[in-house]
Structure 1
């Protein structure tokens, strides 16, 4: 079952740190099955406070997403992202099956 990593950039502090992160982060993806779905493109806030942008990455499993995030290569890059801005990050397990699961679950 797929899992999704979502990063929300709330505020940038240091562009040089974010640049360093963008240089190091691709090496952290090596050896991991990841599919970028959205990368800080055009967005519209529907609820909640304004954000600067967001990224969504798809992994084959929740465990694969966890392994990527905790890998030494990504942790090396991560420290620069956290120095460069305020972010929120989450891993969420996806669902398989039809749209009916949404109505069965009661969440929309």
Structure 2
């Protein structure tokens, strides 16, 4: 099943470190089959608050995502972002193409008894 690395990054001014990070990140993703699905932009907030921007990177599975994040290549460039773009990041498993939320609701009803 696909997995996603998702970052909620707070707004910051661009600088040489950020440009270098963006320039180098794809090379760290390639060995793990990581592909950007969302990269920056201004989100349309329809509920709550969302200061900053979002980045979503898709991987074939959770293991690929974890291995990418822990890789020496990514860890080498990560400080370039952390120094200037505070935020939060997660890895989360996606759902398969046959996912149906009604099955999840049925399981929840059954568990509630």
Q: Shorter-chain TM-score: what band?
A: 0.7 to 0.9
- Whole-angstrom CA distance in 1 between matches of 2:87 and 2:6: 10
Structure 1 position 9, deviation (Å): 1.0
Structure 1 or 2, whichever has the larger Rg, is 2
Structure 2 residues without counterparts, runs of 5 or longer: 109-113
**Worse-superposed segment, 54-63 or 7-16:** 7-16
- How many angstroms apart in 1 are the aligned matches of 2:26 and 2:93? 23
TM-score w.r.t. the length of structure 2 is: 0.80
Query: Which structure has more strand as a fraction of its residues?
Result: 1
Check conservation: 1:6, 1:90, Cα contact below 8 A. yes
Deviation at 1:97, TM superposition (A): 4.2
Identify unmatched segments of 5+ residues in structure 1.
Answer: none
Q: Give the number of equivalent residue pairs.
A: 106
Equivalences for residues 23-102 of structure 1 within 5 A: 23-100=23-100, 102=101
Cα distance in 2, alignment partners of residues 103 and 10 from structure 1: 35
Q: Secondary structure at the match of 1:48?
A: coil
Q: TM-score, normalised by structure 1?
A: 0.83
3-state secondary structure, aligned to 1:4? strand
Q: Per the alignment, in what secondary structure is the counterpart of residue 64 of structure 1?
A: helix
